[in-house]
Structure 1
C-alpha cells in the first residue's frame, strides 16, 4: 500500500504514526507526573491545615486553658473549650464550611481518648502503632478504603510533650472533678510523658486528587497535541517547498525530454541531494543529446 502513495502522503503517514506513538508515551509519562503533582498539592494543603490546627491547640493550651482552669474545679459541667483537641476540631469543622476545604476531614484519633468521638478505629490504631514502634517517623501518607470511596490521608503523631497534659490524663484522682462528672473515670487516663497516644489525621477523597490530575493532564495533552499539530503543518509546508515542488519540476522536465523537448533544463537551485540529482539529470540529458547527434550523423 505504501508503494502506491505519493511521497507527501507517505511522509504524513510516518509523521502521524510517530505522533501517535509520542502521544501515548507522553500521556503515560505525563499522567504519572501530573498525579504526583496533584498528590503533592493536596499534601501541601493538608500540612498547612495541620500546622494551623497545631497553632489552635497551642493557643488553647497556653491562653484559654489557664483562664478557665479554676472553673473546672468548681463547676459541675466540664468546659470542652479548654481542651486543645476539641478547639482544633471545632475550628476545622468551621473551616469546612469554606467550599475549598469542604472535602477535607480532620480527626485526632486516640487509642484511649476521654471523648469517645476521638476513638481510633482499627486502621487509625495501626497508624498510631507505627508511630509508637518507630519514633523517628514523623509523617505517614497513603490511601485507605471506605464504603463511599477511597480516602487519601496524611497523619502525624500526637505525643505528650508537656506535664500539664497529664493533669487530665494521668489518673482519675488528678483530673478536674467536672471532667470526671462529664466523661467518667474509665476513659482517657494512664497517659505518660513523651508517649505517642494518637495521630492527627487529615483525609480527603481520592477522587479529589483524580479530578485535579485529570484536569491538569487534559490541559497538558491539549497543549502537546497542539504543538505536534503545528509542527506537522510546518514540516509539511517545508517539505512541499523544499522537496515535493523541486521533484515535481524535475519530473515534468524529464517528461518533456522523453518527448524530444531537449531545450528543457533541470533547475539546480540548491546544493543539497535534490540539487545533486538535478545536476546528474542535466549531465544525463547532455549525454543523451550527444548520443542522438552521433546517431543522426550521416555515415
Structure 2
C-alpha cells in the first residue's frame, strides 16, 4: 500500500510525525521549565511577604511595644498586640483575604514559644537546626509533604536581635505579670541574645505551582501546535507549487511523448532541480523528434 501513496501523502505523514515528536519533547521541556519559573514567581511573592512581615515586626517592637509595655504589668491579661509575631500574623491573615494570596500561609515556627500555636513541628525543627548549624545560611526553600498534598515553602531564620525581647523570654522572674497569668511559667523562656530560636516560614500548596505551570504549558503548547499546523499548510502549498504540480505536468507531457505527440514542451520558469528536469525532458523530446524525422527520411 505504501508504494501507491502519493508524494504529498508521504510528506504529510512525515510532517505530522515530526510535529508530534516536537510537541511531545517541547511539552516535557516546558513542564520542567515552566514549573521552575512558577516556583520563582511564587518565591518572589513569598520573599516580599517575608520582608513585609519583618518590617511589621520591627514596627511593633520599636513603636507599639514601648507604648504598651507598662500595661503588661498592670493588666489582668497579656496584650498580644505588643508581640511582633502576633502583629505579623494578624496582618498576614488580612493579606490572605486578597485573591492573590489566599493560598499562602505564614508561620513563625519556634522551638520554645510562649504561645503553643507557634510550636515548630518535626519538619520545621529540622529547618531551624539547619540554620543553627549554618550561620551564613540566609534562606531555605523546597517542598514538604502533608496529608492533603505537597507544600512549597520558603523559610528565613528568626533570631533574638534585641535585648528588649529577653524581657518576655529570658526567665519567668523577669517576665511581665500579665504574660505569666495568660501563658504560665513553662513555655517561651531561656532565649539568648542573637540565638536562632525559630524560622519565618511562608508556604503555598504545590498544586498552585503546578496549576500555574500547566496553564502556561497549555497556552504555549497550543501556540506551538497552531504554528506547526500553519507550517504544514505552507509546506504543502510550497510543495504543490514547486514540486507536485510541475511533476504532474511533466508526467503528462512524458505520456504524450510516449504516444507520439511531440507538439508540446514543458516550460519551467526557475533554474532549480525541477527546471533542470524540465530542460532534460524537453531535450529528450527534441532528440526524439529528430530521430523520428531521420527515420521518416530513411523510409522515403
TM-score over 0.5 (shorter chain): yes
Quote how far apart the aligned CAs of 1:177 are: 1.5
C-alpha distance in 2 between matches for 1:298 and 1:105: 104
Cα offsets for 1:95-140 (capped at 9, x unmatched): 2222322211111000000110000000110010011010111111
Q: Is the 8 A contact 1:68 1:82 kept in 2?
A: yes
| TM-score normalised over the length of structure 2 | 0.97
Gaps of 5+ in 2: none
Tell whether 2:251 aligns with 1:275.
no
Q: Residue in 1 aligned with 2:182? A: 182
Alignment length, in residue pairs? 299
Secondary structure of 2:146's counterpart equals coil
Cα offsets for 1:8-39 (capped at 9, x unmatched): 11111111111111111111111111111111
Cα offsets for 1:124-164 (capped at 9, x unmatched): 10010011010111111111111111111111110111111
Quote how far apart the aligned CAs of 1:293 are: 2.2
Give every structure 1 segment of 4 or more consecutive aligned residues whose post-TM-superposition deviation is greater than 6 Å.
none
Q: Residue in 2 aligned with 1:32? A: 32
The worse-fitting range, judged by mean Cα deviation, of 155-164 and 284-293 is: 284-293
Q: Residue in 2 aligned with 1:118? A: 118
Matches for 1:97-112 after TM superposition, within 5 Å: 97-112=97-112
The worse-fitting range, judged by mean Cα deviation, of 111-120 and 248-257 is: 248-257
Secondary structure of 2:274's counterpart equals helix
Tell whether 2:35 aligns with 1:54.
no
| TM-score normalised over the length of structure 1 | 0.97
Quote how far apart the aligned CAs of 1:45 are: 1.1
RMSD: 1.2
C-alpha distance in 2 between matches for 1:2 and 1:32: 39
Tell whether 2:285 aligns with 1:298.
no
Quote how far apart the aligned CAs of 1:270 are: 1.1
Q: Residue in 1 aligned with 2:63? A: 63
Gaps of 5+ in 1: none
Quote how far apart the aligned CAs of 1:210 are: 1.0
